[in-house]
Structure formats: structure tokens, C-alpha cells
Amino acid sequence: MLHTIDLKFQKVDQAIAAYLFESDEGPILFETGAHSTFPRLCSEVEKLGYQIEDIQHVFVTHIHLDHAGAAWALAEHGATIYMHPFGKKHMADPSKLLSSAQRIYGDMMQALWGDLKAIPENQIRILKHEEEVKIGKTIVKSWHTPGHAVHHIAFQLDKLLIAGDVAGVKIANGMVVAPCPPPDINIEDWKASIAILRKLDVEKIYLTHFGEVSDVQKHLDSLTFILDDWSAFIRPYFEKNVPPQEVIAPFMQHVRGQLQAHGISKEGLQQYEAANPSAMSVFGLMRYWKKKT
């Protein structure tokens, strides 16, 4: 059985999820959330009948702090952390990751993300594309899915897919949006990864932001549209050399209009912004266009 854990990031409902799968060898965790939400993760795991040290297998879709920021804390409790090969050096020595995050978030770093510490290399297991990991009777299959991040993996559990960010952000019955933070956004790679997802024999996709999606093909169609729409919106600003800081307000207005057209409430707008900050997508897409020139 797969359980959705709402980590209540920044006290916002349905912004960041972790997923606990009950196997015959004990609980398996997909995504850890930020270290700032680790107390919440521990308490929710206990409500499911486990202690945090019972989790000995942790799969992270990629190393962004909202997905893997608490991985080191689970490693301290003995867990093996499964990830993309490109993520290993940053989890074993997070100094560059930490420095980059501090430049972006400044004084808000601790409140948003908490601490970030190294994971011993012998507790990191890297996964190849299409590699299968067997834990008791459970098989977890790795699908390398770059586009959002070069170090992104989606994990298949039979007919279920833990999709991280490659399948976008969708809260409740809201609109699908694309998380586009720097530095790795690549629209072409992302579309190639979507093509991989379309071919998988899965009935449901589980998003870190947030929850279950059952109409897989329609969802991926909507995501593809938004990738094209948002990248096209940013392109003329890039071509005119408009500073990214000046693009944030018009981009937020554009996204807010799309969300409101889909009936998203004021509370829903706050949820979407917490899960997928507009400023990060501006910086990411401006960088994408710069790389293409």
C-alpha cells in the first residue's frame, strides 16, 4: 500500500508530499521533503505504525531540497539513499549545493529548508536508467527523466509511478504547471522524458507537488502545453535583455490568470506558489534561453 504524507511545507497544505510504501521488508520512502519538515515526516510515519529508523530504503527523484533535503537525516538513522549518478557527489559533499541555495534564499535558508549535511558514500546507491531494485517482493524500477533536472529519476512500482517533478505540479483538481527552476531546465529533454512516461504501463502517477493523478495521458498533454506556453512567454523578455527581476511580476500575472481561469481559489494560488515559486521559473527559463543562443 502506498501512503501520501503531506509534509505541510511552510504550514501550507498539499505543497510537498513524501510517499511511504509498505513492503514485506518494511516501509520504503519516496522523497524526503526538506529537512525543515523532517519532524512532520517523523510524526506522520509514526501514525502509520512505524518509527523513522524502520525506513531503511529511501528513493529520491532528484536532489533539490524540497525532494531530498532530509535524506541525510534518514541516512543518520541507517537508511540507504537511492539516487541518480549525477546527484551522488552533491549528497556526499553538499557544500556547493548549500552555497547555491544560500545565494538564492539568503536569510530565509534555514526557515525554508533547515540543515543540509553530507551522506556517507557507502549509504548512497546510484541507479542506472531502467535498473530494477528488489526489496523483498517489491520491485522498484528507475527511469532517468531529465528536463527539470539532469539528475532526475521517476520510480515505477508495478502500475504506479512516483514522478517527482518530471510530471509537473498539480494540486487537488487544479491546473497542471511546470516547475522550471535553474540551473538545468531543458524543454527538449523534458519532452523526451514525457515521451518515456507516456509509454509506461502505469495507471496512476504520484506527484511530489501534489498527490495522485489517474488520467495520465491528459495530464501529460496539459504539461506539454504549459512547457511550450511558459517558455514562449519568457523568450521575448530574454531577447530584449530584460533583467529577470523585472520579468517576475508579468510572469506571475500570466500564471495567476491561467490558474484563475481554471477556477483556482485565492488559497489555491498560495498553494501553487508555495509548491512552485514563480520567480524560480523565471530564472530557470531565462537561463534555458541563454543556453540555446
- Peptide bond preceding 183 in cis form (omega within 30 of 0): yes
- Residue 141's pLDDT is 98
Distance CA 75, CA 64 (A): 17
Q: Over the stretch 214-249, which tens digit does the pLDDT of each residue have?
A: 999 999 999 999 999 999 999 999 999 999 999 999
Distance CA 275, CA 73 (A): 22
Distance CA 16, CA 40 (A): 12
Fold held by 2-292: Metallo-beta-lactamase; Chain A (3.60.15)
Q: What pTM did the predictor assign?
A: 0.95
- Residue 171's pLDDT is 92
pLDDT by position in tens, the chain (length 293) = 999 999 999 998 999 999 999 999 999 999 999 999 999 999 999 999 999 999 999 999 999 999 999 999 999 999 999 999 999 999 999 998 888 888 888 888 888 899 999 999 999 999 999 999 999 999 999 999 999 999 999 999 999 999 999 999 999 889 999 999 999 999 999 999 999 999 999 999 999 999 999 999 999 999 999 999 999 999 999 999 999 999 999 999 999 999 999 999 988 998 899 889 999 999 999 999 999 88
- Residue 228's pLDDT is 98
Question: Comparing C-alpha atoms, which of 247, 165, 253 is closest to residue 210?
Answer: 165
- Residue 147's pLDDT is 97
221 contact partners, CB below 8 Å, separation of at least 6: none
Question: Comparing C-alpha atoms, which of 198, 209, 204, 205 is closest to residue 172?
Answer: 209
Total residues found in the chain within this entry:
293
Distance CA 289, CA 153 (A): 24
Instruction: Say how many CA atoms lie within 13 Å of 55 toward its Cβ.
Output: 31
Domain coordinates in residue numbering, the chain: 2-292
Which residue type occupies 162?
I
Alpha-carbon distance values, 151 to 55, 89, 128, 189 (Å):
23, 11, 11, 12
